[in-house]
Amino acid sequence: MSHVSSALLTDRYELTMLGAALRDGTAHRQCVFELFGRRLPGARRFGVVAGTGRLLARLREFRFGDDELRFLRDERIVDADTLAYLEGFRFSGTVTGYREGELYFPGSPVLTVEGTFAEAVVLETVALSILNHDSAVATAAARMSIAAGERPLAEMGSRRASETSAVAAARAAYIAGFGATSNLEAGRTWGIPTMGTAAHAWTLLHDSEEDAFRSQIDALGTDTTLLVDTYDIRAGVETAIRVAGTGLGGVRLDSGDLPTVAAEVRQQLDALGATGTRITVTSDLDEFAIAALAASPVDAYGVGTSVVTGSGAPTAGMVYKLVARQAADGAWIAVAKASADKASVGGRKAAFRELDAGTATREIVAVADGFESVPSADAFEDARALQTLLVDHGEPDPAFEGVAGTQAARAHHLRVREELPVRALALSRSDPAIPTVYRQV
């Protein structure tokens, strides 16, 4: 049976800190680490948490097998005592956090990791790499989904990302409102509906556009979508309907001034009697281009580069900081970074979203000085508790993983997105849609 490990998906200094802590005796101090964002990238008005289910799967794989230990020994990255500790490493702590698909704002305690310093510090890089990437994609995808309204969106950006991040991006986009992906691995792994018909190469392969269309119809039926802009769009539409008949499923436009071209194609299709033939556009779309097409006769969108790269914000900019620890005498103390523009808020936290008639008005972060209990939602009138238990004494909750976890995250996102105030739906740069308020308890 092959060994799968995520343990080296980390930065070297995580293990050098671990080694030094084992040496000076601080490695087994109980600690609380927090993953959060100081601000929203691109001056956006809200963020979307994504990647939690993937992180839990990676946590299950966070084991140092023979190959990993051999590399650390041969490269002299850690000493013999640290290697001995890592050989039996199993995370035994607790992780709480925002549900995947949840909205977040500056200061939201998206993830809280509790355990010894040794077992919590080594998770920093893998947690950040997953949540920073997936949350950036999901935030961009949510903005596109809002701009699209009821019109369906398909993710088709695999060729604009690495092969593994493409699969992760497809999942994050699906959670945030996209309905399908072109990526087959994402379909297999995460249960996302897949879509796709033909590229320009298909038309160019054949002796004529008509030959290409006839062959595609013969293979896929008349409900397929024909790409009509390889040569002349007007001629392509005429040929498509002549070959497929007025029951053609759809045509796709991948170039030109889309509002103008879409209007002309709709008029032509209707004149030919193909009133039910759908128009899909796929040309370098982002949330702004989608919004600009709101009044155009477009039925669906396909988005590539912009969604898999976060539409100008490729990382969520989250950080992972120690916020509370046990002192030498066992007492709990809050700790915080005080650097200019990079300060953190110490203490264990609980988060709540205050609602007024179902609309979010504030993010309330209750802060405890140490490990003391923080209040429940009952302490805040008209507030919804935001955190849930994800890992209990080292055991990830399988409800948040796999296909079922992905579906649950999508449903949760679409539900909580309804809480956003109207000002959050605008695409322009601005302050967060709701303020974050800290309450000391």
Determine whether domain 161-307 maps to CATH 3.20.20.70. yes
Q: What single-letter DSSP state applies at residue 144?
A: H
pLDDT at 369 over 80: no
Q: What is the mean pLDDT of residues 120-125?
A: 98
Nearest to 128 by CA among 7, 9, 305: 9
Phi, psi dihedrals of residue 391, rounded to the nearest 5°? -135, 125
Residue 132 has pLDDT above 50, yes or no: yes
Q: What is the mean pLDDT of residues 206-212?
A: 98
SS3 24: helix
pLDDT confidence of residue 217: 98
Closest to 343 measured CA to CA, from 38, 113, 68, 104: 38
Cα–Cα distance between 348 and 345 in angstroms, integer?
9
Main-chain phi, psi angles of 263, to 5 degrees: -65, -45
* pLDDT of 311 higher than 90: yes
Question: What H or E segment, with its residue span, contains residue 349?
Answer: strand 348-356
Architecture of domain 12-137+313-440: Alpha-Beta Barrel (3.20)
Please state, for a pLDDT cut of 90, what percent of the chain lies above it. Answer: 92
Q: Tokens 């500056």 label which residue?
A: 106
Q: What is the mean pLDDT of residues 418-426?
A: 97
Residue 1 is predicted with a pLDDT of: 36
Q: Locate the domains of the chain by residue range.
A: 12-137+313-440, 161-307
* pLDDT-based confidence at residue 371 (cuts at 50, 70, 90): low
The predicted-structure confidence for 60-98, as pLDDT tens digits, reads as follows 999 999 999 999 999 999 999 999 999 999 999 999 999
Q: Are strands 225-227 and 250-253 parallel, antiparallel or unpaired?
A: parallel
Q: Which residues in 249-283 are b (16+ Cβ under 10 Å) and which e?
A: bbbbbbeeebbebbbbbbebbeebebeebbbbbbb
